[in-house]
Structure 1
């Protein structure tokens, strides 16, 4: 059994049971719960076996998957997450994107596809962590902490997600250069499909808001080509 720990939050007993077994067959450790509050309890007690990724059903009683994701982001922004849902509404997909989901998977789906998606997300996450070597980066008047996922400026701390930190670090490493959208998407999202493109746009908007008080930083989009992260040092 691998040390990858998946938190599965799914209130359909039949579907949840089958999916848990399928993921375990692929050598993952799986904690399956049927309610959002149970998921939050698991996260608080996961010191011995930290959660590697969360798979969240959207439609649940009491607290839906979107609300659960918001709470996870507050306490554990380093944990990547994907949504599972039977809803195909564009508004739901956009909401998932804005929250920072790594994927939005509509039921019914091929379980093999889910396993591959989870594997790719985890690979990218692990590569990003090893590449950063848990360092700190100076971005103008901001300090980016890649270990604890926060931005600090004038003593004020802004918590950020793992994906936001990875994108900031990536842009910093390629600063003052025009980067093709497809290359950024392949390197950080693993593909350049529509979902990933919209997701990246959401993250870029967040970064612009974070750095709005820093005149030495500009994130500019060149239509049809790519992104340039300008940093005057």
Structure 2
């Protein structure tokens, strides 16, 4: 059964983006737009993790966290906030949050952080898939956030890592340029086809035997790319 995520954010575009990130990571999600709605949901429903914005319309996310901890709810909370002051992150962690992520965030990296937090917080033994990814000659260790091919570490940049992680989560599926842009860059404005192509080629150069004749990252004309394993 998929883990359940409660998303608490008053920005509709952020809620939709977070839902997409959860979906691609195999997680179920529900959304609310206010602190009071979150508290009401948590009275009658159980979740495996809560993604909490700080600036909500009716109250601060900090107040929601304090209330649920006072109520004995131990569900792990990841704060996702546009406020990046050290005080905010230290305060959030001190009142019971488990992690603090600032906006703008890279969706693929956020997905990895959510899964890592779930893995740490589960009382029972994690399912095999949550311990890492093994796909053909490729593997990914979420604890070290390192990638390997045939046991040899791949030295990747941040965006190359985000791109490969997206492919590993979606083997043999066509991924559009729009999806790549959303999950790697996390931006909603104009998609830069050239930038995507540059990083595809860089990644091919590190994982393909012959980058000019790729067998893993295959171009699907007019649609996007497929990671073939």
TM-score, normalised to structure 1, is 0.51
* Alignment length (residue pairs): 127
Deviation at 1:103, TM superposition (A): 0.9
Unaligned runs of 5+ in 2: 126-142, 145-229
- Paired residue for 1:92? 88
**Do structure 1's residue 14 and structure 2's residue 13 form an aligned pair?**
yes
**Aligned mates of 1:76, 1:30 — CA distance in 2:** 22
Within a 5 Å distance, the mapping from 1:210-221 to structure 2 comes to none
**Aligned mates of 2:88, 2:70 — CA distance in 1:** 21
- Paired residue for 2:117? 121
Q: Give the 3-state SS of the residue equivalent to 2:57 in structure 1.
A: coil
Unaligned runs of 5+ in 1: 132-189, 192-233
CA contact (8 A) 2:21 2:108 kept: no
- Paired residue for 1:23? 22
Q: 1:130 aligns with which of 121, 124, 135?
A: 124
Deviation at 1:92, TM superposition (A): 0.7
Within a 5 Å distance, the mapping from 1:30-69 to structure 2 comes to 30-46=29-45, 50-69=46-65
**Aligned mates of 1:76, 1:33 — CA distance in 2:** 21
CA contact (8 A) 2:66 2:96 kept: no
Q: Give the 3-state SS of the residue equivalent to 1:59 in structure 2.
A: coil
Question: Residue deviations 1:202-221, cap 9 Å, x none?
Answer: xxxxxxxxxxxxxxxxxxxx
Q: Give the 3-state SS of the residue equivalent to 1:130 in structure 2.
A: coil
Deviation at 1:86, TM superposition (A): 0.7
Moved over 3 A (4+): none
Within a 5 Å distance, the mapping from 1:155-170 to structure 2 comes to none
Within a 5 Å distance, the mapping from 1:80-229 to structure 2 comes to 80-126=76-122, 129-130=123-124
**Aligned mates of 1:20, 1:84 — CA distance in 2:** 14
**Aligned mates of 2:2, 2:22 — CA distance in 1:** 13
Aligned CA RMSD, in angstroms, stands at 1.7
Question: Residue deviations 1:188-213, cap 9 Å, x none?
Answer: xx68xxxxxxxxxxxxxxxxxxxxxx
Question: Residue deviations 1:122-177, cap 9 Å, x none?
Answer: 11112xx237xxxxxxxxxxxxxxxxxxxxxxxxxxxxxxxxxxxxxxxxxxxxxx
CA contact (8 A) 2:48 2:75 kept: yes
